[in-house]
Amino acid sequence: MARKKKEKIIVKLDLPKDDSTLTKLYAILAVSIFLGLASFTFWVTNSHFTTAPNGQPLFVNTVCKYDPNYIPTFVDNESCPILKDEPDILVMEPEDNWMEFLRLGQMFDVPGMDENISDVRPPQPLVGTCDVETAVPSDYSFILYDPEGKEIARYSGNTYANGDKCELFVDNMEKGNLYQLVIISEEEVQDATYRLEMDYYDGVPENMNNKSQWIGPEVNLGGLSLRPTIFLNFFGIGFFITFWPASFYWDKVKEKTNRMEEKFPDFLRDLAEYWKGGLSMTVAVQTLATSEYGALNHEVKKMSDQLSWGVAFGDVIEMFAARVGTPLVQRAISLISEANRAGGKISDILVTAANDSREIKFLEGERKRSISSYISVIWTSYGVFLGVIVVLAKVFIPAIAGSNSEPGDDGDAGGGQQLGNMVIRNIEPLFFLTIFYYGVTMQALGNGSMAGLMATGRFTSGMKHSGLMILMAILCFNIIVFSPDLIGITTLPALKPAAGTFSP
């Protein structure tokens, strides 16, 4: 006799679990606040607010361990990793190739570190290369002379020699005018060119501006020269990091809840129809568990599983209301629960609750549609404000700064401009850029908060708008406004050639 095959019983246990939504929110808030405070700290220690008596920001004095009353020298800066000056490469090449000559020279000026910065100047090594072509083999020389006419470097070669590499080195080019570069050939040179490369130190640290404020490493992106880690960015980034991640997460939670609320009236209506058809509430919910309710599917399935384990219908719907936790669902479930305990024709209560919920969601949708035009106005006004500020910062401020930097009649540079009885003093472009940037950021916080509160009534929604506005401001300022001349980057001098050439 064959054994009877045993049937497997599959039991789905959906035990109560702690809701981790708030735990995740608090974790995001904790990390965001920590990173936001770190950003604000970095910003404020580099800002004008914390400049010490020695002219250095708090950030520099702290990292380099400077006494706030001691003015550091260039040698001191070289001992601090964030203030170490890296050389810039200055290049000089002829505008046009030299042609058809035997002896030809070019005078040029060599820049150097400002004497007011330091008495100790680092060496400025120079590398010179040339390319000389003649119709027949010819010996030639590539020579550098100092301003006094003394030879400081020479390369001698032959135009047709194998492995001829015209190159010379100078260990240190002192600051001075009228250096001479000369090419001499025994036979007529048909074509010649040269290239000089010199290391130049300006005394300004690589990642700092001329006020020792952090501007960060340069990033070249599609022809744009950007300083994404400039200290000003951390003011906006601080607000963005502090509020936006948690606001974004909480809005996602609320959007999911809203999608559940939108399907809730359909669930109540179908439940009423099954009740009218003669099914008990338990069977009706278990049957509806196979239907499609979008974001509500998981909750309906959970109620079905709980009912299959013998949990009372009243307890199941109350647990459902507690999980969703919105006033709309709690109000409807409270009404249904009371009707279920009282007995009688519960289908009418279900239909009434469904209609009430649907009407509330309809009114919410109408409110969003009517408010959307005001949200557009807020975004447009912010865009116009940002555009005006960018134009002022990029066009107006440099023009004023440039006009005021011209020497006065007494030869004193930077004395300001006379306008009637009023004297317009010199302005620092970075100071005004800072004020503009702070204003744009605070405007983003205000406009964004108002837009979110009008749209949903939630502060988190406002912070989402504010965060996007702050990002827009950061991008506009970094791409358009934060040019080297406006953020305090010293313009590099050049190996300046004299006009024309000469025959030595």
- 374 in any annotated domain: no
Specify the 3-state DSSP secondary structure of 182. strand
Cα separation of 132 and 157, whole Å? 10
In this structure, are 94 and 193 located in the same domain?
Answer: yes
**Amino acid making up residue 489:** I
Residue-level pLDDT at 486 = 84
What's 7's DSSP letter? Answer: P
Confidence of residue 35 (pLDDT cuts 50, 70, 90): very high
**Amino acid making up residue 65:** K
The structural domain count of the chain equals 3
Residue-level pLDDT at 410 = 47
In this structure, are 280 and 358 located in the same domain?
Answer: yes
Q: Is the pLDDT of residue 210 over 70?
A: yes
Residue-level pLDDT at 489 = 81
In this structure, are 123 and 37 located in the same domain?
Answer: no
With b for 16 or more beta-carbon neighbours within 10 A and e for fewer, the 62-80 pattern comes to eebebeeeeebebeebbee
In this structure, are 261 and 321 located in the same domain?
Answer: yes
Range 286-315 average pLDDT: 86
E-strand stretches of 82-212: 88-92, 101-110, 126-134, 139-145, 151-158, 167-170, 176-200
In this structure, are 54 and 123 located in the same domain?
Answer: no
Say how many C-beta atoms besides its own lie within 10 A of residue 246's C-beta.
22
Among 371, 325, 334, CA closest to 356: 334
Say how many C-beta atoms besides its own lie within 10 A of residue 211's C-beta.
19
Cα separation of 404 and 424, whole Å? 8
The H-or-E segment that residue 417 falls in is strand 417-419
- Token pair 């995740």 in the structure block, residue: 24
Q: Is the pLDDT of residue 404 over 50?
A: yes
Residue-level pLDDT at 121 = 79
Q: Measuring CA to CA, how many Å separate 398 from each of 1, 386, 429?
A: 102, 18, 7
Residue-level pLDDT at 402 = 64
In this structure, are 94 and 198 located in the same domain?
Answer: yes
With vertex at residue 213, the alpha carbon angle to CA 212 and CA 219, rounded to the nearest 5 degrees, is 110
User: What percentage of residues in the chain have a pLDDT greater than 70?
Assistant: 90
In this structure, are 108 and 43 located in the same domain?
Answer: no
Give 181-201 pLDDT, tens digit per residue. 999 999 999 999 999 999 998
Residue-level pLDDT at 420 = 52
- 220 in any annotated domain: no
Range 449-471 average pLDDT: 90
Please tell me the least confidently modeled range out of 311-315, 319-323, 329-333, 421-425.
Answer: 421-425
Residue-level pLDDT at 426 = 60
Q: Is the pLDDT of residue 316 over 90?
A: no
Residue-level pLDDT at 381 = 95
Higher pLDDT, 24 or 350: 24
Q: Measuring CA to CA, how many Å separate 390 from each of 220, 272, 447, 472?
A: 21, 60, 18, 12
Q: Domain of 139: which CATH number?
A: 2.60.120.380
Write out the residue range of the structural domain in which residue 185 sits: 88-203+496-502
Q: Measuring CA to CA, how many Å separate 242 from each of 57, 129, 155, 454, 472?
A: 24, 54, 62, 22, 17
Angle 233-276/281-288 helices, nearest 10 degrees? 130
- 464 in any annotated domain: no
Residue-level pLDDT at 106 = 93
Give 242-294 pLDDT, tens digit per residue. 999 999 999 999 888 888 888 888 888 888 888 888 788 888 888 888 888 88
Residues in the chain: 504
- 100 in any annotated domain: yes
Give 47-71 pLDDT, tens digit per residue. 888 888 888 899 988 998 899 888 8
Range 370-386 average pLDDT: 92
In this structure, are 72 and 92 located in the same domain?
Answer: no
What is the DSSP secondary-structure string of 354-390? HHHHHHHHHHHHHHHHHHHHHHHHHHHHHHHHHHHHH
Q: Measuring CA to CA, how many Å separate 412 from each of 129, 182, 404, 416?
A: 41, 39, 11, 10
* Contacting residues for 90 by C-beta, under 8 A, at least 6 apart: 111, 197, 198, 199, 200, 492, 493, 494, 495
Name the token pair of 224: 């744009």
- 298 in any annotated domain: yes
In this structure, are 74 and 99 located in the same domain?
Answer: no
Range 214-229 average pLDDT: 86
- 65 in any annotated domain: yes
In this structure, are 199 and 94 located in the same domain?
Answer: yes
Q: Taking a C-beta distance cutoff of 8 angstroms, is the pair 283, 307 a contact?
A: no
Task: Share the mean pLDDT of the chain.
Answer: 85
Range 119-136 average pLDDT: 89
Range 302-311 average pLDDT: 86
Give 465-482 pLDDT, tens digit per residue. 999 999 999 999 999 999
Among 248, 249, 215, CA closest to 229: 215
Q: Is the pLDDT of residue 340 over 80?
A: no
Higher pLDDT, 330 or 405: 330
Confidence of residue 372 (pLDDT cuts 50, 70, 90): confident
Cα separation of 392 and 17, whole Å? 57
Cα separation of 414 and 72, whole Å? 25
In this structure, are 349 and 259 located in the same domain?
Answer: yes
Q: Is the pLDDT of residue 406 over 60?
A: no
User: What percentage of residues in the chain have a pLDDT greater than 90?
Assistant: 37
Residue-level pLDDT at 290 = 86
Residue-level pLDDT at 419 = 46
Q: Taking a C-beta distance cutoff of 8 angstroms, is the pair 460, 246 a contact?
A: yes
Name the token pair of 100: 């058809």
Q: Is the pLDDT of residue 411 over 80?
A: no
Q: Is the pLDDT of residue 215 over 70?
A: yes
Cα separation of 213 and 482, whole Å? 14
Residue-level pLDDT at 413 = 45
Q: Taking a C-beta distance cutoff of 8 angstroms, is the pair 107, 178 a contact?
A: yes
Q: Taking a C-beta distance cutoff of 8 angstroms, is the pair 317, 333 a contact?
A: yes
Confidence of residue 312 (pLDDT cuts 50, 70, 90): confident
Range 330-343 average pLDDT: 82
Range 27-56 average pLDDT: 92
In this structure, are 340 and 274 located in the same domain?
Answer: yes
- 436 in any annotated domain: no
What's 48's DSSP letter? Answer: G
Higher pLDDT, 279 or 91: 91
* Contacting residues for 436 by C-beta, under 8 A, at least 6 apart: 389, 392, 393, 481
Residue-level pLDDT at 1 = 46
| Helix/strand/coil (H/E/C) assignment for every residue in 108-134 | EEECCCCCCCCCCCCCCCEEEEEEEEE
Among 436, 449, 454, 430, CA closest to 385: 436
Q: Taking a C-beta distance cutoff of 8 angstroms, is the pair 360, 328 a contact?
A: yes
- 44 in any annotated domain: yes
Q: Is the pLDDT of residue 13 over 80?
A: no
